[in-house]
Amino acid sequence: MPIRIPQAKKKELDEDAPRRSSKKIPFRSPKGMHDTLPDDFLYLEKIRKVLEKVSSFYGFDRIDTPVLEDIRLFERGTGMTSEVVEKQMFVVKGKHSGSSLALRPEMTPGVLRAYVQSGMNHTRIPGKFFYLSSLFRHEQPQAGRFRQFRQVGFEILNATDPAYDAQVVFASYKILSELRLKDVVVRINSIGCKTCRASYVKKLKEYYRRKATKLCRDCQKRYKDNPLRLLDCKNEKCQPYKQDAPISVDALCSACKKHFTSVLEFLDDAKIPYLVDHFLVRGLDYYSRTVFELFVDGLGFALGGGGRYDYLSEMLSGPKMGATGSALGVERIIEAMKHFEIVPAKQKQARVFMVHMGEEAKRKAFCLLELFYREGIVVRESFSRDSLKSQLRLADKEEVDIALILGQREVFEEVVIVRDMKTGNQETVPLSRATAVVKKKLKGKK
């Protein structure tokens, strides 16, 4: 006899659902660090898929490094005068060990270390890597700025060709456009090599010499420790002085000029919209020649950034090695997607729901799930609910194609009711044929 599905009201549905309580746990996630809940994974998974598509096309292989690294890797690599090292590192000490480890604030030095440590610098030239990894910076949390966040990024090691600078820009741009983010603009600049930068910095210091006392407190320090960064100060007080400051592209040596022109030509050919920004210098100490950041109009922060870092390996006492890379902030991409109402399509997973009535049927249903697992058919259940009504309502909510119904009688007769959720038609089939029948029905519904 076919089972009639009663039209239960929402209240009735929850009648036999697990009890809810208003009691709260007195702990919260640490400041600036967030849980990644199932709805967030909708975005995260979409970003991961796009990253993998772009990476596999351009020949990047996935890499990850330990979350903790020797603190000196960042002090010498990212740089003592960078804010990341100066103010934002989480330092970890073992209970009985004297040496300090740091929670990685960025991936670049670790990836380079891993490349050399593994000997890949002899076998993979260039080494092209991508990552989707968590990072930690002790920042004051605000929009788009967290203490734990993720980056997707690309690093190309043992590579000096300007085509590779353009390729990391292009790959990052492509990720954003594949995610349907419009009006992405690349801001780009060249800060030269060791030689031409030294004479440029001298000129810059000369320009700022008489103004130094009028600058903000940070810039007074920058004037001494890292004069290039005077150019990306955001403080109102310092803006008027920036306008007439000498610019780095005017001071490039002929090799750096040629390199920069070539990068821009690649971007022109690929039709990547860019803007040469003479004030862009980036906040990490290892950059040389090309530096860039990616923006989307309407958001108050950069979505990503990167550049060439030809001296990083030597700064870490490694072999001489040209390199270039880029990283995008995942939380910032998600924020941008939400801002522009880009919602990734939800993948429907389950097409079948298992309904049980009574303890014996629940036990049988439990085992039946295993047969469906082996066939690769995803089946939902609700073992904590007992009533037929509420289980069928849930099956409806999950938008499954088929409900399998097991009652005491079905268990006794070794059969199961297979119900088409759209038409309401149902048939009783032997348990031994359940997977085959469901498979056939699902095939017909594709």
Which residues of the chain form contacts with ligand HAM (CB under 6 A)? 106-108, 137, 139, 144-146, 149, 151, 153, 155, 284, 302-307, 309, 325-329, 331-332
Q: Which of 52, 111, 62, 18 is nearest to 313 (CA)?
A: 111
Asked whether the beta carbons of 404 and 434 are under 8 A apart, the reply is yes
Measured CA distances, 204 to 44, 83, 118, 194 (Å): 43, 21, 41, 15
State in angstroms the smallest separation of the CB of 156 from ligand HAM.
Answer: 9
| Nearest residue (CB) to ligand HAM, 125 versus 378 | 125
| Nearest residue (CB) to ligand HAM, 309 versus 353 | 309
State in angstroms the smallest separation of the CB of 137 from ligand HAM.
Answer: 5
State in angstroms the smallest separation of the CB of 358 from ligand HAM.
Answer: 52
Give, for 113, the enclosing helix (H) or strand (E). helix 108-117
Report the alpha-carbon distance of residue 82 to residue 232 in Å, rounded.
13
Asked whether the beta carbons of 33 and 147 are under 8 A apart, the reply is yes
Q: How many CA atoms lie within 13 A of 61 on its CB side?
A: 9
State in angstroms the smallest separation of the CB of 365 from ligand HAM.
Answer: 45
| Nearest residue (CB) to ligand HAM, 162 versus 325 | 325
| Nearest residue (CB) to ligand HAM, 145 versus 362 | 145
State in angstroms the smallest separation of the CB of 63 from ligand HAM.
Answer: 12
Handedness of CA 332, 294, 113, 163 (dihedral sign): positive
| Nearest residue (CB) to ligand HAM, 295 versus 372 | 295
Token pair 């959720």 is at which residue? 421
State in angstroms the smallest separation of the CB of 244 from ligand HAM.
Answer: 27
Rg (Cα) of the chain, in Å, rounded?
29
| Nearest residue (CB) to ligand HAM, 282 versus 393 | 282
